[in-house]
Amino acid sequence: MQRRPRLRLMSLLTLAVLSGQAHAETVHVAVAANFTAPMQAIAADFEKASGHQVLAAYGATGQLYAQIKNGAPFEVFLAADASTPAKLENEGESVPGSRFTYATGALALWSSQAGFVDDSGQVLKSGQFQHLAIANPKTAPYGLAAMQTLVKLGLNQAVAKKLVEGQNIAQAQQFVASGNAELGFVALSQIYKDGKIIGGSAWRVPAEMHDPIRQDALILAKGKDNPAAKALIGYLQGDKAAEVIRAYGYQP
């Protein structure tokens, strides 16, 4: 007679656990390459807080846009610009009203060598380098910002033969990290953590040297019925995500 209440309690606990698992969903996210490290940290925190799972793919914004248009199963998109999400919105590829700016990015000129890059970017004018890495300016907003900076400095023609172009900002950073390029334009978030540059030397490019790098996110049409997609967008707008975003040199 004494076992029945205990068995009933165990059954209720089992049902509660199974119920929680039943409500956990997986959300497929397309993420601009510059936001890789912050997104990995945010996704881990989000999964612990919500029970949902994040499956993220990283790449150049233009490439991710093409994949979305070709039917890739992405449900949330974190771009490196504002114009691409706006375009998807106008094309009916997103959930109306879900678009917002999750971060404003910063551009940096970086070398893996300590002392190679001065704090005002004069190394670009010295010409004492053989290769300058940038992301593809046609598909990567940080690559476009890099070209705008070179034009602003009047150096676009002078360094044209030294440019090494990566498919996205992650590849541009890898060129510099591996030593295949002495320096390159990267996202500040790739070389910055908790208020300081991580390794090498860098110049934080003033914001007025290029168009603002406003990064927008939205829920794509494929995610309209996925509660995990809505939950992730909500989490990205919260205080915990903002702390991570600031830690990597962005403005939330």
215 contacts 82 by C-beta, under 8 angstroms: yes
Token pair, residue 67, equals 């994949």
Q: What are the structural domains of the chain?
A: 3-104+213-247 (3.40.190.10), 107-204 (3.40.190.10)
Instruction: Please say if the pLDDT value at position 248 is more than 80.
Output: yes
Inter-axis angle of helices 169-177 and 141-153, nearest 10: 70
- Residue 56's pLDDT band, with cuts at 50, 70 and 90, is very high
CA–CA separation, 110 vs 173, rounded Å?
8
- Residue 8's pLDDT band, with cuts at 50, 70 and 90, is low
The backbone torsions φ and ψ at residue 92, rounded to the nearest 5 degrees and listed phi first, read: 75, 25
**Predicted TM-score of the model (pTM):** 0.82
Instruction: Please say if the pLDDT value at position 193 is more than 60.
Output: yes
Give residue 6's pLDDT: 53
Amino acid identity, position 210: H
pLDDT in tens, 158-174: 999 999 999 999 999 99
For 59, other C-beta atoms within 10 Å of its C-beta total 22
Amino acid identity, position 3: R
Mean pLDDT of 37-57: 97
Mean pLDDT of 53-58: 98
Token pair, residue 40, equals 């990995």
Mean pLDDT of 187-199: 90
